[in-house]
């Protein structure tokens, strides 16, 4: 029988005011219902925001080391439940066991990291130009943080928003994605068990039109952090900034990997294939464009096709090379882009077909002869579809890489140090990698994009993650 989940408000698990529910299903076995969740509305969301607001002062006054101990304890509890969390993530989102297990471990590491950082929160002391004066800064939490998170990294992204918000002394209301909210509920249970006071964290499930828009527009919410599509993110930004909220958006990507004529082609094919086809291409940092020097173009296309053809498919619990898309609509979107690319004249070198089996499976697709004006070269696909674009030199490669609306992640494969340095300086992306895939992030350094990939306000993760959730005061103490 499917799990019956509830909202988490003011330290209690509670049903929705609507008495309506929605189901999550296994994308590898769509007829299998995993759990039911409250189909919450604006009234439910307002109740959660009120709970967070009531708990705000007490949590802000809790010493940083004490907040940190709760986060660390929650991380340890999650660590004890790694296999359980991994299985739930696989069954709701569709990742392979290895991919899901890596994401769960990342969430655990994030809680331990920000648990330790909570003890270091404070200001700085400066030397005053006046006599008999102490000059220093302090940092304070903003208040109530509203978090709206996506389905593709359903535990890692909520963790890297929740943990710094709580470490800094904010209370939280989070709306997890409806396709895979289960691991956020498990996170809330771990924090509750670790001793988090009532009302400090609140979880409300339901549609963005009700829950998300209420979070973004409520006067008691002081900061909004959103990860998702650019179209929805821009709406969230407009709503949240109407009354001056602090806003952080991380959105889509059209991420390039440049392959230089100096690159080892086999190594380049490994790097691009891992970045393009990992997690079924359902990552905002996935490589969707390989921009390849014409001298090695044909060799590279053959090599990356070999990688795509070698990928096996199956249920994530069996840990295959690739799991299914998260939903039928995501699968249909990928298939539509495959058709669009062929209609526009790109050559389908491999894949792109729906697999004849239960579940939302698609073959990874490799396209050659892609022109930079084609939709495949400009629009985010969010599936395992790679456009291979030929260029005549490194100048053209940089131009093509930057000639999109997005600027999230980018990489280059080269043995030329001058090219690597130029790439770092000239590429328009917030995450820049040399001889690495576009996916994969360290948790203690800033993460965020440029252009339509981000609001370009505040970065996430590391110290930058704490910066978003705090505000500073400068103190002049004339004694």
* Segment 421-478, tens digit of pLDDT: 999 999 999 999 999 999 999 999 999 999 999 999 999 999 999 999 999 999 999 9
The whole-angstrom separation of Cα 160 and Cα 169 is 15
User: For 133-152, how does the pLDDT look when each residue is reduced to its tens digit (9 = 90+)?
Assistant: 999 999 999 999 999 999 99
| DSSP collapsed to 3 states, 7-49 | EEECCEEECCCCCCEEEEEECCEEEEEEEEEECCCHHHHHHHH
Inside any domain, residue 269: yes
Write down the pLDDT at residue 3: 87
Same domain, 235 and 86: yes
Q: In what order do the strands lie in the sheet with 29-38?
A: 3-4, 29-38, 21-26
Instruction: Measure the N-to-C terminal CA separation of the chain; round to a whole number of Å.
Output: 68
Helix (H, G, I), strand (E, B) or coil at 148: strand
Helix (H, G, I), strand (E, B) or coil at 152: coil
Inside any domain, residue 443: no
Q: Mean per-residue pLDDT for 79-90?
A: 98
The whole-angstrom separation of Cα 236 and Cα 215 is 9
User: For 199-209, how does the pLDDT look when each residue is reduced to its tens digit (9 = 90+)?
Assistant: 999 999 999 99
Inside any domain, residue 260: yes
Same domain, 245 and 269: no
Same domain, 30 and 139: yes
| DSSP collapsed to 3 states, 281-346 | HCCCCCEEEEEEECCCHHHHHHHHHHHHHCCCECCHHHCCCECCCCCHHHHHHHHHHHHHHHHCCC
Same domain, 80 and 218: yes
User: For 27-52, how does the pLDDT look when each residue is reduced to its tens digit (9 = 90+)?
Assistant: 999 999 999 999 999 999 999 999 99
Same domain, 187 and 269: no
DSSP 208: I
∠ Cα 208 37 384 (to 5°): 65
Inside any domain, residue 445: no
The yes-or-no verdict on residue 1 having pLDDT over 80 is: no
Evaluated on CA atoms 358, 360, 361, 365, the torsion sign reads positive
Q: Residue 339's domain spans which residues?
A: 255-434
Same domain, 168 and 222: yes
Same domain, 154 and 190: yes
Write down the pLDDT at residue 475: 96
User: What is the tally of structural domains in the chain?
Assistant: 2
H-run or E-run covering 237: helix 230-241
Same domain, 410 and 469: no
Same domain, 277 and 379: yes
Same domain, 274 and 410: yes
User: For 317-332, how does the pLDDT look when each residue is reduced to its tens digit (9 = 90+)?
Assistant: 999 999 999 999 999 9
Domain containing residue 472: CATH number:
3.40.605.10
The yes-or-no verdict on residue 222 having pLDDT over 80 is: yes
Same domain, 211 and 269: no
Q: What is the mean pLDDT of the chain?
A: 97
Inside any domain, residue 105: yes
The whole-angstrom separation of Cα 2 and Cα 8 is 19
The yes-or-no verdict on residue 232 having pLDDT over 80 is: yes
The yes-or-no verdict on residue 280 having pLDDT over 90 is: yes
Inside any domain, residue 145: yes
Helix, strand and coil content of the chain, in percent to the nearest 5, comes to 40, 25, 35
The yes-or-no verdict on residue 307 having pLDDT over 80 is: yes
Write down the pLDDT at residue 42: 97
Residues 212, 175 contacting (CB under 8 angstroms): yes
User: For 142-199, how does the pLDDT look when each residue is reduced to its tens digit (9 = 90+)?
Assistant: 999 999 999 999 999 999 999 999 999 999 999 999 999 999 999 999 999 999 999 9
Domain containing residue 401: CATH number:
3.40.309.10
The yes-or-no verdict on residue 13 having pLDDT over 80 is: yes
Of the residues 93, 250, 330, 380, only one is catalytic, namely: 250
User: For 362-397, how does the pLDDT look when each residue is reduced to its tens digit (9 = 90+)?
Assistant: 999 999 999 999 999 999 999 999 999 999 999 999
Q: How confident is the model at residue 102 (pLDDT cuts 50, 70, 90)?
A: very high
Same domain, 204 and 260: no
Inside any domain, residue 54: yes
Write down the pLDDT at residue 371: 96
Share of the chain above pLDDT 90, in %: 99
Beta-strand relationship, 223-227 and 144-148: parallel
Write down the pLDDT at residue 2: 84
Active site residue 339: no
Residues 281, 252 contacting (CB under 8 angstroms): no
Closest of 162, 223, 175, 364 to residue 280, by C-alpha: 364
pTM for the model:
0.96
Inside any domain, residue 194: yes
């Amino acid at each position: 029988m499917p799990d019956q989940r509830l909202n988490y408000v003011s330290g209690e698990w509670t049903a929705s005011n609507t008495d309506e529910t929605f189901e999550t299903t296994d994308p590898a076995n769509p007829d299998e219902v995993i759990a039911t969740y409250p189909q919450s509305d604006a009234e439910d969301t307002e109740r959660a925001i009120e709970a967070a607001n009531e708990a705000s002062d007490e949590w802000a006054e809790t010493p940083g080391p004490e907040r940190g101990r709760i986060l660390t304890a929650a991380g340890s509890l999650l660590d004890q439940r790694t296999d359980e969390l991994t299985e739930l993530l696989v069954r709701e989102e569709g990742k392979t066991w290895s991919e899901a297990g890596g994401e769960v471990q990342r969430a655990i590491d994030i809680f331990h990291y920000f648990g330790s950082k909570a003890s270091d929160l404070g200001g700085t002391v400066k030397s005053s130009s006046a006599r008999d004066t102490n000059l220093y800064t302090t940092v304070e939490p903003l208040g109530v943080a509203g978090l709206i998170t996506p389905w593709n990294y359903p535990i890692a992204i909520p963790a890297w928003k929740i943990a710094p918000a709580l470490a800094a002394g904010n209370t939280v209301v989070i709306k997890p994605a409806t396709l895979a909210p289960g691991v956020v509920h498990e996170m809330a249970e771990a924090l509750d068990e670790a001793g988090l006071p009532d009302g400090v964290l609140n979880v409300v499930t339901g549609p963005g039109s009700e829950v998300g828009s209420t979070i973004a527009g409520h006067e008691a919410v002081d900061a909004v952090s959103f990860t998702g599509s650019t179209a929805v993110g821009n709406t969230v930004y407009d709503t949240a900034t109407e009354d001056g909220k602090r806003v952080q958006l991380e959105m889509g990507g059209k991420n390039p990997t440049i392959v230089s004529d100096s690159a080892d082609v086999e190594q380049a094919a490994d790097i691009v294939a891992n970045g393009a086809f990992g997690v079924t291409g359902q990552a905002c940092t996935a490589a969707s464009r390989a921009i390849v020097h014409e001298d090695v173009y044909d060799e590279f296309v053959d090599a990356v096709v070999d990688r795509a053809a070698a990928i096996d498919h199956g249920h994530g619990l069996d840990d295959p090379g690739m799991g299914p898309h998260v939903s039928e609509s995501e699968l249909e979107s990928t298939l539509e882009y495959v058709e669009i690319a062929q209609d526009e004249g790109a050559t389908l070198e491999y894949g792109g077909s729906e697999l004849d089996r239960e579940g939302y499976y698609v073959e990874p697709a490799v396209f050659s002869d892609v022109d930079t004006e084609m939709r495949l070269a400009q629009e985010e696909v969010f599936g395992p579809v790679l456009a291979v674009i030929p260029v005549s030199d490194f100048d053209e490669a940089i131009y093509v890489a930057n000639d999109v609306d997005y600027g999230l992640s980018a990489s280059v494969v080269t043995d030329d140090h001058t090219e690597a340095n130029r790439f770092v300086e000239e590429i328009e992306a917030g995450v820049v990698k040399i001889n690495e895939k576009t996916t994969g992030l360290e948790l203690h350094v800033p993460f965020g994009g440029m252009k339509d990939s981000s609001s370009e306000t505040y970065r996430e993760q590391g110290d930058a993650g704490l910066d978003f959730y705090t505000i500073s005061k400068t103190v002049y103490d004339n004694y």
